[in-house]
Amino acid sequence: MAEKAIDPLHQFEIVRLIPAKIGNLDVSFTNASLWMVIAIAAVTVFLVGGMRQRALVPGRWQSMAELSYEFIAGMIQDNVGSSGKKFFPFIFTLFMFILFGNMMGMVPYSFTFTSHIVVTFAMAFVVFIGVTIVGFAYHGAHFLSFFVPKGVPKIMLVLMVPIEVLSYLTRPVSLSIRLFANMMAGHTMLKVFAAFTVMLGIFGIAPLAINVALTGFEFLVAFLQAYVFTVLTCIYLNDAIHLH
């Protein structure tokens, strides 16, 4: 440890596990891919295993599976209404994938794929495109009235419509940056304080205490960011379905 410089960003490094190429496209199976597969497997085991018993009075495991179902079902009901029920599978998948990605990132020596903007932006962009398609499918060209705020004088529309369009285009960016920045900042901070602990020797007890608190905080953030990402997806969906 002493001769090797401590690099808090080393944990985010992408490693090609199975190099592969299609033309000029690098389609290697990386550690990020590996952890995504693990996340999907873990979610599947968690839900399928939990519901295997189908007990009327659920045990602990089944309770957790049912709790996560009800949490998302309630979220959709609150933010979109009953017309959002159709989108439950998508939103539930999104939430569980992000939640497990964030939570598994808290395991030492694991890899947090949600700390990469490529991953979060891909998810946010799918949400953005999907919501736009839903909007056009439900309202046709009338969906464009979403960009015309109500009760604004005609002259101001010249200014307001571009602002509204920009505000709409911001969605995938803010959605992805929020998740990626929170995860990356948190994990970097953990690593920095861990490095202080090693460097300070006996006085390392102070950064160690901070790290303990930070770890708890990071678990909160891991859940919170999965929640925020999903709730915003619901809100965007609601905007597209109900317009204004």
Partner 1 sequence: MATEPPPPNLDELERRLKQARPEPVETGVGAADRPRAMGMAFRVSVELVSALAVGVGLGWLLDYWLGTGPWMMVVMFFLGAAAGMLNVYRAVEGLGFGRWSKGSAATKEEDRGERG
Binding stretches for partner 1 (CB under 8 A): 77-79, 81, 162-164, 166-167, 169-170, 173-174, 177-178, 181-182, 220, 223-225, 227-228, 231-232, 235, 238-239, 242-244
Contacts of 173 (CB under 8 A, 6+ apart): 121, 124
Q: Which is nearer to partner 1, 199 or 243 (CB)?
A: 243
Q: Which is nearer to partner 1, 20 or 224 (CB)?
A: 224
Instruction: Give the pairing of strands 25-26 and 29-30.
Output: unpaired
Q: Distance between CA 38 and CA 43 in Å, rounded?
A: 9
Could you tell me the smallest distance in angstroms from the CB atom of residue 238 to partner 1?
Answer: 5
Which string of DSSP letters, residue by residue, matches 94-132? HHHHHHHHHHHTTSTT---GGGSHHHHHHHHHHHHHHHH
How many CA atoms, within 13 angstroms, populate the side-chain half-sphere of residue 233? 31
Contacts of 98 (CB under 8 A, 6+ apart): 114, 123, 179, 225, 226, 229, 230
Q: Which is nearer to partner 1, 190 or 241 (CB)?
A: 241
Q: Which is nearer to partner 1, 116 or 178 (CB)?
A: 178
Tracing tokens 């159709």 back to the chain, one arrives at 86
Distance of CA 29 to the CA centre of its chain: 21
Could you tell me the smallest distance in angstroms from the CB atom of residue 102 to partner 1?
Answer: 13
Give the helix/strand (H/E) hosting 26: strand 25-26
Could you tell me the smallest distance in angstroms from the CB atom of residue 180 to partner 1?
Answer: 10
Q: Which is nearer to partner 1, 35 or 143 (CB)?
A: 143
Could you tell me the smallest distance in angstroms from the CB atom of residue 168 to partner 1?
Answer: 9
Q: Distance between CA 105 and CA 97 in Å, rounded?
A: 12
Could you tell me the smallest distance in angstroms from the CB atom of residue 221 to partner 1?
Answer: 8
Q: Which is nearer to partner 1, 31 or 77 (CB)?
A: 77
Could you tell me the smallest distance in angstroms from the CB atom of residue 105 to partner 1?
Answer: 17
Q: Tell me, what amino acid is at 174?
A: S
